Structure 1
Amino acid sequence: MGIVRPHLWFDDQAEDAATFYVSVVPNTSIRSVVRAPTGTPGVAEGAAFIVELTLDGMPVTFLNGGPVLKLDDAFSFVLECQDQAEIDHYWEALLADGGVESQCGWLKDRFGVSWQVTPTGLDRMMGADADPAGTARAMAALLTMVKLDIATLEAAYAGQ
């Protein structure tokens, strides 16, 4: 594993978020939970303070630091899906209990973390080696979507 890892600031839901991601994302586990000692600003004594997890094999740190900082859409996790069934599954799971849909395959889960739920083939349609006309058609289709629809994107890319 590398030396760079994401570090996300939560008000007070870091442990709940980590537990949720363990239940949704394969190859995810909580490695440790550090409880707040007396006098930790913004965190009650004994509450989860630092949560170290592995999210799909990537080390990630969650911190409960109180309401000083907020998560926003400038940071997101990209979740690449093999097929439409996988997109549908993760879309519903991440929206459960208060998540909010956005557009172009983006959503915000109930903890305020932004996710891009995308098909693995999107790089092929949008990458440097893609057909520029196909990319333009696929992008036009993508911009009309909330949850991404692979068949529609593929048809647009192909000019159908």
Structure 2
Amino acid sequence: MQKIVTNIWYKDNAAEEAVEWYLTLFDDAKVTSTVPYIEDAHGTVGNAMVVNFDLAGQSFTAINGDDSAKHDHAMSLLVNCDSQEEVDRLWDAFLANGGSEIQCGWIADKWGVNWQVWPTGADQYLGGPDKEAAVRAVNAMYAMKKIDLQGIKDAYEGK
């Protein structure tokens, strides 16, 4: 069992819907258990109170709650992508399912959960040994919503 598990609160009984959709984004994703509401548990008896699930080897808990909790991008789920194609696929999927772009690789899904969709190759430019080039790369990133690895590379190289 994973010692620390990210717990995500969903309003309007959307936990099951959100989890089912997340499962479509990652190959090795699955629901590991569901805890239904029981009498006197502030929900409809039989509906899911908690959905435990795994995405890419990481355990999460989705809980159905009220609208008292709010998500913002100060806490996000970072997805390290091996290629620009993976960045594009995930970004497009979030947008097509009602998500909203934020900035610098952050995107909120339709439930307000914030994600960072990040090409791991960008780090070599943003933290590269040429400090002036790295500043250009960082400034290019600041101007982006979805991260464009080639754009960051071009800025680093002064193109």
Question: Do Structure 1 and Structure 2 share a fold, with TM-score over 0.5?
Answer: yes
More deviation in 117-126 or 52-61?
117-126
Quick check: 1:5 aligned with 2:11?
A: no
**1:32-64: per-residue Cα shift (whole Å, max 9, x none)?**
1111111112x2222110110011101111111
The aligned amino acid for 1:139 is: V
Q: 1:114 maps to which residue?
A: 114
Counterpart contact for 1:10–1:71, Cα < 8 Å: no
1:21-60 equivalent positions in 2, closer than 5 A? 21-41=22-42, 43-60=43-60
Q: By how many angstroms is 1:65 displaced?
A: 1.6
Moved over 3 A (4+): none
Q: By how many angstroms is 1:126 displaced?
A: 2.9
Counterpart contact for 2:49–2:63, Cα < 8 Å: yes
The aligned amino acid for 1:159 is: G
Structure 1 unaligned runs (5+)? none
Q: By how many angstroms is 1:120 displaced?
A: 0.9
Q: 2:140 maps to which residue?
A: 141
SS for the counterpart of 2:133 is helix
**1:84-106: per-residue Cα shift (whole Å, max 9, x none)?**
22111110111223111111111
**1:96-142: per-residue Cα shift (whole Å, max 9, x none)?**
23111111111111121111111111222234x64322221111001
Structure 2 unaligned runs (5+)? none
Quick check: 1:132 aligned with 2:155?
A: no
Q: Return the TM-score normalized by structure 1.
A: 0.91
The aligned amino acid for 2:125 is: M
Calculate percent identity across the aligned residue pairs: 35
The aligned amino acid for 1:156 is: A
Q: Return the TM-score normalized by structure 2.
A: 0.91
Counterpart contact for 1:96–1:109, Cα < 8 Å: no
Corresponding pairs, count: 158
